[in-house]
Amino acid sequence: MTSPQRQQTMHGSAQTALYIEDLTVEFDGFRAVDELTLLVDYGGIHGIIGPNGAGKTTVMDVITGVTKPRAGTVLLDRTHDVIGMHLSDRAAHGIGRKFQKPSVFEHLTVRENIALGVREYPDSLLREVLRGGGPAKRARVDEVLDTIALAAVADAEAGTLAHGQKQWLEIGMVLARDPRVLMLDEPVAGMSNTEREATAELLQRLRSPERAILLVEHDMQFVGQVSDRVSVMHEGKLLADGTMDQVTSDPEVVRVYLGR
Amino acid sequence: MMTAFVHSISGEGPRDRAYLAVVMLLVLVVFAVPLLGLSPLASTPLGLDGYQVNLIGQVMAFALLALSLDLVWGYAGYLSLGHGLFFAIGGYLVGMHMIKLAYVGQSGVPTFLNYMGLSEFPFYWSGMEHFWVALLGALLLTALVSFVIGFLAFRSRVVGVYFAILSQAFVYVAMLIMSRNDTGFGGNNGITGFQSLFGVPLSAIESKVWLATASALVTLLTLILLRRLTRGPVGKLLVGVRDDEDRLRVLGYETLWLKIAVWCGSGLLAAIAGMLYVPQVQVASPQLLSPMLSIEIAVWVAIGGRGYLYGAIIGAILVNILKFWLTRFMPELWPFILSGAVLLVVVVLRNGLMDPGPTFRFLFESVRRQKVAGKGEGA
């Protein structure tokens, strides 16, 4: 286990974005996440790998609010209690997430999808509906379209996009609100090599000192290519933590991945 | 010239043209019914008799009812099999208004209240002789009932078929309550014996004409209003709720209030449809609350096509005209024909008549291409 002090030395003066402590999630007695403690820093890309059922997606579900934990703490900026927050407050606090299965609104255009991610009046849905949609929103949508390189298909219905484009579009929807914590669940699943390269470049563009990117991905090569730091989960617990080279040479990790 | 006009105000695309065609059809009905239903043209061969005018009026009220369902089903993705509940609230309240009106300046009460041992109207009939009281009462009661149902169901995140069953249960319970004689609304027979509305006797052709015209006009205005609403930000959010509600919630949208608002709005439209319908059939009975009627509304929308608004109107018009016509000649066949139509639409078409799906679209396109090619040769 890495201590917070060691992280400080690894990333210079990196600030903790997410502070997860003793997090436990149970489904009908099965411990999907088992007293997990994990720190996610601003400024980098933090990969989480592990075999199927290790609890990676469940951790994201807890942070997003679609799953309630049994015990534990999740703090944003070491101050805001995330678990107690309402779903819409989490988004307002800058927690954004791309789901594992590409979740775009297929009957809306690419532009309309991204526009749903922008909020001009985060406190009031009524005001958003009545007064939202001004030039500021349109400018932000164009900006995001450029970032995710989908400007050429801006007016196409999302349902007509290729699989890889849908993945980027969903990242764009989440990105529209300029999230401080960006969680990506399997962003390159089912992608071709070219698309994977494009996604790696996109992730580099998304890096920011004010943003923490948390990446769950089965593709180890991709994780190694883009992540600054990698955590390995196994059976709901943290098995190893460090750079990709460090964790892949860890005997415990090798044992879990290559069978016992 | 016509097409130039269509393009100038609608942009392009078959969807816009279909919408415009339905708008024009409704405009036509609004003008044609009073023109052809009243003298001097009524007695010409082009004229409409009372039966025809009444039929048009009923179909228009059903079209409005179908519109209200399409808003929650076609856009937000929640199928209600209980919209008859709101339809009936509007229907019963306008019925109460007409009964109270008939007893103004007279002592005594209708027979169904006599049977209950009452010699005067209970307190909740007070003021009902004024139309605005009945209208306001119907809207408030509908808002309250739809809010309670919507809040309970959406708060507990009831979705899909469970929502449909729940809504059906509510309408069924309401039917059982209203079927009891001691509920005070005439039990199984409902309330009837209406005489006039706005001073016009219901037996006069004038009342039939104006009720049919009003039904068409309200349907037309509602179509235009909902079209604006669904093409704007609210429509995008509703489609978001329909296609992936969790995605929308995690983007930070509180979908609960959005769904409640749309559900209540839809209920209010159904109540207005009921207020237009009951004076035309001159009875408000638990039939309005029958699960069969509520399911039929969904059938109209399914046959017309969900999520286009005008599809709901076309579905309601086609199915009901067919029903009126067939039940005159071969009533025993109607259930089979309706079931057959539903099966056909579900199996063959992707989403009702308004969206024939790729196979049929290919056919249409090739026909159009041939036409265009033919024109090219002629010029």
Secondary structure (DSSP) of B151-167: HHHHHTT--HHHHHHHH
pTM score above 0.95? no
B131-155 helix and B84-102 helix, angle to the nearest 10 degrees? 160
Cβ contacts of A92 on chain B, cutoff 8 Å = 252
Tell me which residue in A66, A106, A108 faces B250 most closely, judged by beta carbons: A66
Contact A48, A234 (CB under 8 A): no
Polymer length of chain A: 260
- How would you write the pLDDT of chain B (379 residues) with one tens digit per residue? 344 444 434 445 777 888 999 999 999 999 999 999 887 887 888 888 889 999 999 999 999 999 999 999 999 999 999 999 999 999 999 999 999 998 887 888 888 888 888 888 889 988 898 999 999 999 999 999 999 999 999 999 998 899 999 999 999 999 999 999 888 898 899 999 888 899 888 888 999 999 999 999 999 999 999 999 999 889 999 999 999 998 999 998 989 999 999 999 999 999 999 999 999 999 999 999 999 999 999 999 999 999 999 999 999 999 999 998 888 888 888 888 888 888 888 788 877 787 766 656 666 666 666 666 655 444 3
> Nearest to residue B18, comparing CAs of B170, B227, B294?
B227
Domain ranges within chain B, ordered by starting residue: 17-348
Q: Which of B250, B258, B260 to mutate to test the interface with A (most CBs of A within 10 A)?
A: B250
Cβ contacts of A157 on chain B, cutoff 8 Å = none
Residue A216 to residues A193, B32, B95, B263, Cα–Cα distance (Å) = 18, 64, 62, 38
Tell me which residue in A115, A119, A129 faces B252 most closely, judged by beta carbons: A119
Chain B closest-CA separation from residue A255 CA (Å): 36
CB-based burial, B171-187: b 16+ in 10 Å, e otherwise: bbebbeebbeeeebbbb
Chain A closest-CA separation from residue B251 CA (Å): 6
* Domain containing residue A230: 4-257
Q: Which CATH number characterizes residue A15's domain?
A: 3.40.50.300
Residue A85, Cβ density class (10 Å: 0-12 exposed, 13-18 middle, ≥19 buried): middle
Chain A closest-CA separation from residue B236 CA (Å): 7
Pick the CATH number of B17-348 from 1.10.3470, 3.40.50, 1.20.120, 3.30.160: 1.10.3470
Tell me which residue in A64, A96, A108 faces B239 most closely, judged by beta carbons: A108
ipTM: 0.85
Question: Which stretches of chain A sit within 8 Å of chain B by CB?
Answer: 64-66, 86-88, 90-92, 96-97, 99, 103-108, 112, 115-117, 119, 122, 125, 128-129, 132-133, 170, 173-174, 177
Token pair listed for A64: 């997003």
Report which DSSP code applies to A93. Answer: T
How many structural domains comprise chain A?
1
Token pair listed for B148: 């309670």
| Model confidence at A98: pLDDT above 90 | yes
d(CA B82, CA B102): 31
Q: In the Cβ-directed half-sphere of A29, how many Cα atoms lie within 13 Å?
A: 0
